[in-house]
Chains A and B, each alone.
Chain A
Amino acid sequence: MSAIGTQVTVSLVEPAVLDAVPRAKKKLVVAKERGAISSADRKRPIVKASMWIIQILMFIGLLVAGFGPIAWSARAAVSGSQQIITDPTGIWFSPVFWVNLVHAWNGAQIGSSLGNTVIVAVGCTISTLFISTTGAYLLSVLRPKWSPVLSGAVLATLFLPGVISLVPLYLTILHMPVIGVSLQNTFWAVWLPAGASAFNVIVLKRFFDSIPRELIEAAKIDGAGPLRVLTTLVIPLSRPIIGVVALLTIVASWKDFLWPMLVLTDPNLQPVSVTLGGFANGTSQPFSVQMAAVFLTIIIPVILFAIFQKQFLRGVSSAGGIKG
């Protein structure tokens, strides 16, 4: 969506792409040395006291803001509708309504929607990685005579905000030109457009550009064809950046709402964001079941995040390194 912005960012900090992940690691180590407050400052009683107060206030604030809503949804998920509405801030409650979770999983179709979300996320990642690695390899390593034209055409789309193609993209899905089929209500309608990401192609191309040409030439002399160079040399060397692209794609497809809502109108195919979005505009499900559905939707990414937090935060901050 934010096409222009990403373009500005990429061009501003090309070198950051080269060693995004190692640099982020190095920075973290450096950051431990000192910030604006020196160790001498830290011994002064006023600084010490105010740091304590700020820390405690921030901790309470972040705990309420970050953990509060999740904890509340957990509590609401196992309470009765009446209890949630009449006593929303009650801390003591009896978790007698475990059945809410079952209702949400089966009756409100959260179980199958979560499955659809996984299918969408995996498919989008595969399609993005396939298109952007082959494309970046073509533009960076194979470099046919006409590659500047293609490269320019890909780059140009970064300058245009996504809003301009929303409606025509929808019409394209309804009736694919030339082949004349409709992709509506198939997962292809979400998977394929996800692959057309100029940002990912450019990021990967920049990274491939940094691979020493001698390595590629040596592999060619040893008799490796273009495909072999890609799979045994370029991809293994680019694992960190491919990981970041995959992570960003998974997160984006997990969160996407408008596009799947438009092209997946069949409730059996809808990812969980669309199913939940339907609740916002009225549903026959009781309130407690809705809250159980919300909880089930939140808890899976939260658990995944808790398990992989180190890799996750490092990936996100190195993605920030690419952006900024």
Chain B
Amino acid sequence: MSKTLAIELRPTSRRKPFNVVRWYQSGGFTAVLFAVPIVLIFLYFTWGPIVQGVVLSVQRTNLVSAASWVGLKNFEFVLTDPGLPQAALNTGYYALLGLVFGFPVPILIAVFINELRKYDWMYNLLAYLPAVVPPVAGILLWKFFYDPSGEGIFNTMLGWFGVGPLPWLNSEAMAMPSLVLYTTWAGAGATAIIYLAAIGGISSELYEAAEIDGAGIWSRLWHITIPQLRNIIFIMMLLQLIGTFQLFTEPFLFTGGGPNNATQTIMLKIYNYAFINGDYGAATALSVLLAIFLCLLSVVYHFVTKRWSPS
């Protein structure tokens, strides 16, 4: 009320005095009505929780007694947790393995399917099938496939070639690569479709020009297809990195973080802090740290890849 009065008292200002009737007639009220759902939902489920996340990270709360301010104690607790270095290393190791072994697979599939002149839809379909399988069902299946005994499916198949039996999820060294193998299987087809659309957009004149210049098939793939895909490759790489740093479902269901913490990830730690120990302060403190890390990663990545792009 006082605000409206103040404006009305200053007729010299260039702004027209606020008029409820005119505001209503020009659609101001309708706009507010349209804003209600999005503002309410974002307040409750996005903006509110983000602010609350930062606040909780400097508080001690257990939902029963009132929250008390503890400053940076939660961060101190999280950073001195003896399990943290291992979890951070595991998460980084998983991201690295995924990047080195998992990342090229969909690109290869897409390049191959693009060269087919017949039956390409069938390859497409087969490659995409794993992405249709709900992750939890896929994990239950693969958990059985990873049976470490000689009768396990993968070990039997390896046995045909005289390899194995491998311990898979039961050994510290092989547990993480096994998770990467599963996530590659589950994700490659869906990513390949995106690459396939991008490859289809490459101008055929480029290939023709290269062919006239005497470039072979491999050098055409290496010097035209891959560089033309550069932007999308950078984007998919960042998306994969962000996704892998928030890895949860696979280690949670496959191994529960074991054996001997070999698959303990940052997200599992956050889950354990919050929903096993009920220590919401520590959980949000670690979440804030991970979020800051991912933001920094994205910013650095953005500038580094920008430098590599010619345009």
Contacts and interface: CB of A to CB of B under 8 A. Distances in A.
A170 B274 contact: yes
A324 B231 contact: yes
Interface in A219-273: 225-227, 254-255, 257-258, 262, 272-273
B157 interface: yes
**Interface size bracket, A side:** 35 or more
Contacts of B298: 4-5, 8, 159
A17 to B, nearest CB: 14
B153 A165 contact: no
B129 interface: yes
Nearest to A276: B136
A279 B198 contact: no
B171 interface: no
Interface secondary structure of B, over-half rule: helix
A27 interface: yes
A168 B284 contact: yes
Interface in B153-201: 153, 156-157, 185, 189-190, 193-194, 196-201
A63 interface: yes
Contacts of A30: 200-201, 204
A218 interface: no
B50 A160 contact: yes
Interface string A137-150: 11000101001001
A4 B140 contact: no
A166 B287 contact: yes
Interface stretch (A95-103, A188-196, A208-216): A188-196
Nearest to A27: B200
B70 interface: no
Nearest to A321: B197
Interface string B30-59: 111011011101101111111011101000
Contact of A254 (B134, B197, B207): B134
Interface secondary structure of A, over-half rule: helix
Interface of B: 27-28, 30-32, 34-35, 37-39, 41-42, 44-50, 52-54, 56, 63, 109, 111-112, 114-117, 123-130, 132-145, 147, 151-153, 156-157, 185, 189-190, 193-194, 196-201, 204, 207-208, 211, 217, 220-221, 224-225, 231-232, 235-236, 238-239, 242-243, 246, 248-249, 252-254, 256, 267, 270-271, 274-275, 280, 283-284, 287-288, 290-291, 294-295, 298, 302
19 contacts: A8-B298, A35-B204, A59-B126, A66-B130, A69-B138, A87-B151, A132-B38, A154-B42, A161-B291, A164-B53, A164-B284, A167-B284, A226-B30, A257-B253, A258-B248, A272-B134, A291-B144, A316-B193, A321-B197
Interface of A: 1-6, 8-9, 12, 24, 27-28, 30-38, 40-42, 47, 51, 54-55, 58-59, 62-63, 65-67, 69-70, 72-73, 85-89, 130-132, 134-135, 137-138, 142, 144, 147, 150, 153-154, 157, 159-172, 174, 176-177, 192-193, 195-196, 198, 201, 225-227, 254-255, 257-258, 262, 272-274, 276-277, 279-281, 290-291, 294, 297-298, 301-302, 305, 309, 313, 316-321, 323-324
